[in-house]
Homo-oligomer: A and B are copies of this chain.
């Protein structure tokens, strides 16, 4: 297939920052792209060959969009799957497949899938709603503490709550959910697997999420993870097993826990480029976005090795700030060698809104880590006064 400066058209469902970064590589290869997003202000409204505003959950909108392209991918999981099923039936390649997306869209189904495929994950119970969960507690099938997760539409910490007593249940929404055993862990790790339609597979190095000591929030994504070679190998093996079980095409980001006794438990997956792989733009021989493209287009996968150590810091809107964004001290961090800000292109900041990220690369990991802290302590995403 001739993708380069040709009539071939790639459709992307979703026009957020992941889509925007993917477009960097479609432009590099001059592959035509069509983007669909519900917001006219989406970061991907520029850089594609054509941008369409429309609902990703509406059958007709997604189906009609799919009829205009030669291959369809996503940058967000919550899309109309019936439309994808029909498009796939009619012969359109859809990567990731709607079958995988259906498994992933529902956390209960996703967990059941791991169990069925012998993939290590923390024990869980599924509930249609809060009442069923309460009954389970009364019958002592479920015990405190546990991790409550909404089965659908949760992201970035939304739809997740650690429940230590009945008090924690009061504010939970009455939706389909799961309860997971709270497993103490040393590290939160992630491995991105690239798998092409032809079956070629490559894994990126294991990355480590470093949390703020108090605020239980990821502060840094660090590549490579500062873990033993044995644990890294185990994490990569588990990630490969997950990718194979899904028969996945494209990128699959596998988030995992390293338990106190060095077991690897799969937490959840994202079937697309992922926040934990942003470091790859500057640090890797091939960025996650380029490898997603290569994988879905059945092109040879690029090297997933790193040129240098990489650390990623998310830029989220400060509390107490809403309105036209201002990146305070961005010039200060840009004066440091190996520091690259990525600004997603959202004009309006809101507390905790993901507005961008900063990558820090260095030959020396400990120096990169020091600089990352300096970056984190300098830049602030605030509103124009």
Contacts and interface: CB of A to CB of B under 8 A. Distances in A.
Contacts of A27: 20, 23-24, 46-47, 345
Interface in A39-53: 43, 46-49
A309 to B, nearest CB: 11
A285 B2 contact: no
A54 interface: no
Nearest to A44: B27
A15 to B, nearest CB: 13
Contacts of A6: 324
A334 B346 CA distance: 34
Given A46-B47, A337-B285, A343 B30 contact: yes
A244 to B, nearest CB: 22
Nearest to A347: B5
A361 B285 contact: yes
A294 interface: yes
Interface stretch (A119-127, A154-162, A300-308): A300-308
Interface string A214-253: 0000000000000000000000000000000000000000
Given A5-B343, A30-B343, A46-B27, A338 B303 contact: yes
A4 interface: yes
A57 interface: no
A137 interface: no
A63 interface: no
A285 B331 contact: no
B303 A2 contact: no
A19 to B, nearest CB: 12
